[in-house]
């Protein structure tokens, strides 16, 4: 619980919200600026700033709750698909610094759906850069795994 955190305020009930689900570890409510009809946020009750800070058990619980809520939302609202989104860091569009997963139902009917991708899917990348970055990350992750096993 952080006094200045908007989402901690929602969990405490001092900030109003439209609740859609709650369990021991997680809380889910409607997003006030929905990207599509039925846009929901799923959060851990325990405060964590972001993806890098959230403990394993809270991340697991939020992800499983988001899956359950996504299935129910698609069925209930007659959506054609759903996006899960997490923003980690201000430069990655995070605006509220209490970890949350967006559950965004998607519709062929664009009167219900205002989401557009910020890049053009299918634009070919630089194969050399893809290979270089992938190899660098593989080496780093492989090294971390070896260290953990030592």
123 near ligand AMP, rule: CB under 6 A: no
Closest alpha carbon to 77 in 119, 16, 32, 34: 34
Nearest-approach distance from CB 30 to Zn ion, in angstroms: 18
Q: Facing residues of 103 across strands?
A: 40, 84
Query: What tokens were used for 79?
Result: 């959506």
CB 105 within 8 A of CB 74: yes
Q: How far is CA 86 from CA 51, 55, 71, 142, in A?
A: 8, 15, 18, 25
Q: Are the C-beta atoms of residues 100 and 7 closer than 8 Å to each other?
A: yes
**∠ Cα 33 3 1 (to 5°):** 90
Partner whose footprint covers residue 47, from Zn ion, ligand AMP, none (CB < 5 to 8 Å by kind): Zn ion
User: In the window 35-74, what residues touch ligand AMP (CB under 6 A)?
Assistant: 41
Task: Out of 33, 111, 120, 146, name the contact with ligand AMP by CB under 6 A.
Answer: 33
In the list 64, 87, 106, 114, the residue contacting ligand AMP (rule: CB under 6 A) is 87
31 binds, among Zn ion, ligand AMP, none (CB under 5 to 8 A by kind): ligand AMP
Q: Give me the residues that bind Zn ion (CB under 5 A), please.
A: 2, 5, 7-8, 47, 98
Return the number of the residue (31 or 106) whose C-beta is nearest ligand AMP: 31
Chain residues that interact with ligand AMP, rule: CB under 6 A: 6, 15, 17, 31-33, 41, 87, 93-96
């Amino acid at each position: 619980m952080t006094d200045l955190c908007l989402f901690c305020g929602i969990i405490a009930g001092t900030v109003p919200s439209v609740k859609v689900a709650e369990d021991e570890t997680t809380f889910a409510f409607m997003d006030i600026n929905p990207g599509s009809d039925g846009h929901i946020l799923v959060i851990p009750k325990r405060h964590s700033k972001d993806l890098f800070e959230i403990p394993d058990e809270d991340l697991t619980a939020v992800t499983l709750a988001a899956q359950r809520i996504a299935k129910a939302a698609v069925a209930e609202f007659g959506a054609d698909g759903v996006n899960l989104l997490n923003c980690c860091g201000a430069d990655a569009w995070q605006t509220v610094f209490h970890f949350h997963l967006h559950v965004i139902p998607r519709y062929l009917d664009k009167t219900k759906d205002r989401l557009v991708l910020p890049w053009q899917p299918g634009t070919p990348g630089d194969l050399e850069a893809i290979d270089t970055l992938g190899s660098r990350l593989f080496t780093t992750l492989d090294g971390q795994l070896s260290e953990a096993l030592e």
